[in-house]
Every structure is written in C-alpha cells, then in structure tokens.
Amino acid sequence: MPRICLFPGTFDPITLGHTDVIRRAVNLFDKLVIGVGVNASKEPMFPAEQRVAWAQEIFKDDARIQAEAYSGLTIDYCKELGAHFILRGIRYVSDFEYEKAIADMNRLLAPDIETIFLTCSPLYSTISSTLVRDVIRNKKEEAYQFLPREVRW
C-alpha cells in the first residue's frame, strides 16, 4: 500500500515555512498532497486556484508532490485520496496544543489516519501566512522575503 500523506492548510499564501516542512517530509512518504482547504466561511486573500497553482509551480520537478483544492472535513478528503497520514507543521508549543486537539478529533473520527507533526526549521519559525498577509497589505514587496520566488502577484 502506498504511503500517501495529506498536508492540509489554507496556504494563503504558501510561505517558506510551508515549503521547508514539505521538502523535509516528502521523503517519508510515497506521495504528498498539498491540500489547499476551501472554507466557505473564510475570505482568503488569494483565490484557491492561485494558491494551488503556486504550490504546483514550486514543486513541479518532484512527481511525488501534488497540490489540489478541497473542501469539507480533512479526514473525508484523506479517504478520497487513500491517504493514511496527515502532516502538520509546528512552529511553537501553542501550535502543538491547537493541532493536537484537531488530531485527537480526527483520530476519533478516523482511527486509521495518523497525524504526523514536523517542527519547522528555526530559520522559518516566525513566518506565518497571517503575518505575511499583514505585510502584503501594508508593504507588498517586503513580503517576498518570506515567500518562495514562485509566489508573486
């Protein structure tokens, strides 16, 4: 059975922190799917199609990595993909507390899907999409230092 992993998130936008986690995690699995979550109750800065396109462009040279948009419960999307792993990046202890609660709920709903936590490299631990969006709103060009070169608008 192939080891398929889903890395879910909004990736609004995808940052150097995200790509660091993806590049370090991909060797653990046969296939890693970047799942760009679409939540009808949230208004993202960038449309889902753009976020997927950025991820596809960043990882175009690695056939093990793909990017797709999805909506609904992450565990339902895992089942659709045949994924038995969910990857979550952790920057700080507070991230772990939040992510563990989600992982516990997912485990209750789908005991055969395992959540894997990978800590972010220290170089990128201060980067979050939320903070990057604030920089984009106020000083657009200065945000590029936190983003892969493929992420431009």
152 is catalytic: no
CA-to-CA separations, 61 to 18, 20, 49, 56, 98, in angstroms, rounded = 17, 16, 20, 9, 33
129 is catalytic: yes
CB 15 within 8 Å of CB 129: yes
From CA 151, how far away is CA 124, in angstroms rounded?
16
Active-site choice (51, 84, 88, 91): 91
Which of these, 27, 18, 29, lies nearest to 58 by C-alpha position? 18
Q: Residue 23, exposed/middle/buried by CB under 10 A (0-12, 13-18, 19+)?
A: middle
Active-site choice (41, 42, 94, 139): 42
42 is catalytic: yes
Q: Residue 24, exposed/middle/buried by CB under 10 A (0-12, 13-18, 19+)?
A: middle
41 is catalytic: no
Active-site choice (18, 51, 84, 88): 18
User: Would you please indicate which residues are annotated as catalytic (active-site) residues?
Assistant: 18, 42, 91, 129
